[in-house]
Amino acid sequence: MSQTVTPYLEMSKAIIDAGGDALKKCYQCGTCTGTCPWTPITHFNIRKLVRYGQLGLDGIEDFMWGCSTCKFCVDRCPRGVELIDVVTAVRNVYSSGGMLPQSLRAFVGSLSARGNPWSGDPEKRNDWAREKYPLYTEDKEYLFWTCCTVCYDPRNIRLARATAEVLNQSDLSWGLPSFEVNCCGESLRKVGDLGLFERLKNKNLDYLNSQSVVKIITVSPHCLVTFKKEYGKDYEVLHFSELIVRLMKEGKLAPKKDFGGLKVTYHDPCYLGRHSGVYDAPRDILKSIPGIDFVEMGRSREQSMCCGGGGGGLWMEKLKGERLSDLRIEEALATGATVLATACPYCITMFEDSVRTLNVDEKIKIKDVTELFLESLDIKIDDSPASDMDFTCKTG
Ligand code: SF4
Ligand code: SF4
């Protein structure tokens, strides 16, 4: 890695401009690097990235894609540097210059061409629903915003169906978005493609405005944060775990099936925990289910480890020994739990990948709290794949 002042002065200036005051405030104490979960396992160094940005040095691209935007460092920085904004700004400079890592090109290409990161047919976005669930119309109270990952990823389709089934058990009036909507754009924004993010956001806003949407329910904490902070509208947005707790408190839903001592631990998704401050709702759900023996991992709540899937990490290749999700699975196994629950489709994807590669899929299962809650209502999830469906949601 060279540390010379680069001929790319323009790029350096753009990085400094984009980093703005955040870059000026940093006094290089290194707290961020000390708290970053990647530090012990990779050469990614957030303090160095800030330093290179401050000095306009070449070489940032060697480690700038390592951050999974978990927010650990932001919460610890004594100068209040919004490190994720710095990372996003730096990435934006590179992404605008067409310098994306190979593994992110398919992700961005799919978002650009199809509006979702899974190369899914846009018109089949609602195929998972098998026409069983209603589309949103203006007279409905809640829009159930289905993250692309739960619409297209075969594993996470089960989560979409579990959520819709729980909604069907409640007395809420709700509906699914039309297939015309796109990805909310959260990961895209964090990998720095701000232009494409704006395009997707505006298309979604056209739909949301046309339907006069006010209340949104999300299963993905990434969509939750995006609607709360990035769309410039005052939506009432709830993560599904919060809605379940509210329905239980109102006496509208109650778990009944006894799980007979099933040992379950819970992983706090970064975007639900540190980014949104929601720590209790998923735990309250697990603790309300009869016969669940709930155990905490050593690192939990504000201290929770990251799964590595944020900030575009879900779509980036990671070498063996450099996967946070592998470490988290080991922490979950150490509790003696046979189920690792979480509340985010990205975490589910990362952990299921890890249990397979670590060869521990017989020892521990990965479930969303909503899936466990639905089981506790004694309702089974439809497990059939979406791909055998011949219908397209035509009303959309
Ligand atoms: S913790 Fe904050 S002040 Fe310290 S090196 Fe990191 S960004 Fe700079
Ligand atoms: S946001 Fe998380 S992953 Fe990114 S630099 Fe900070 S601590 Fe590391």
CB 108 within 8 A of CB 196: yes
Task: Output the CA angle 184-277-141, nearest 5 degrees.
Answer: 50
Superfamily for domain range 254-376? AF0625-like (3.40.50.10700)
pLDDT at 394 over 70: no
164 has pLDDT over 70:
yes
The top-level CATH class assigned to 103-248 is alpha beta
Closest residue to atom 4 of ligand 2, CA basis: 67
Contact 176, 151 (CB under 8 A): no
190 C-beta closer than 6 A to ligand 2: no
- Fold match between domain 103-248 and domain 254-376: yes
- Residues 208 and 196: their CA atoms lie apart, in Å, by 18
Q: Looking at the CA of residue 70, tell me the nearest atom of ligand 2.
A: 2
Phi–psi pair at 117, nearest 5 degrees: -85, 0
Q: How many CB atoms lie within 10 A of CB 257?
A: 15
Banded model confidence at residue 396, pLDDT cuts 50, 70, 90: very low
Q: What is the pLDDT of residues 346-376, one digit of tens each?
A: 999 999 999 999 999 999 999 999 999 999 9
Ligand nearest to the CA of 31: 1
Boundaries of every domain in the chain: 9-99, 103-248, 254-376
C-beta atoms surrounding 327 within 10 Å? 20
CATH code: domain 9-99 is 1.10.1060.10
* Per-residue confidence band for 101, with pLDDT thresholds at 50, 70 and 90: confident
Cα Rg, the chain, nearest whole Å: 21
**Atom of ligand 1 lying closest to residue 29 CA:** 4
- Asked whether 12 lines ligand 2 (CB < 6 A), one says no
Best CA proximity match to 135, nearest among 180, 189, 195: 180
Q: Count CA within 13 A, CB hemisphere, residue 78.
A: 6
The winner for highest mean pLDDT among 92-96, 138-142, 314-318 is: 138-142
Identify the nearest ligand to the CA of 87 by its number.
2
Ligand 1 binding pocket mutation candidate from 25, 26, 35 (most atoms within 8 A of CB): 26
Residue among 21, 23, 31 to mutate when testing ligand 1 (max atoms within 8 A of CB): 31
Predicted TM-score (pTM) of the model is: 0.93
> Which residue from 84, 274, 299, 318 has its CB within 8 A of the most atoms of ligand 2, so it is best to mutate?
84
86 contact partners, CB below 8 Å, separation of at least 6: 19, 22, 23, 49, 50, 53
Backbone angles phi, psi at 171, to 5 degrees: -100, 20
Between the CA of 299 and the centroid of ligand 2 the distance, in Å, is 16
User: Residues 269, 343: contact at Cβ < 8 Å?
Assistant: yes
* pLDDT in the model for residue 391: 32
CA distance 362 to 358: 11
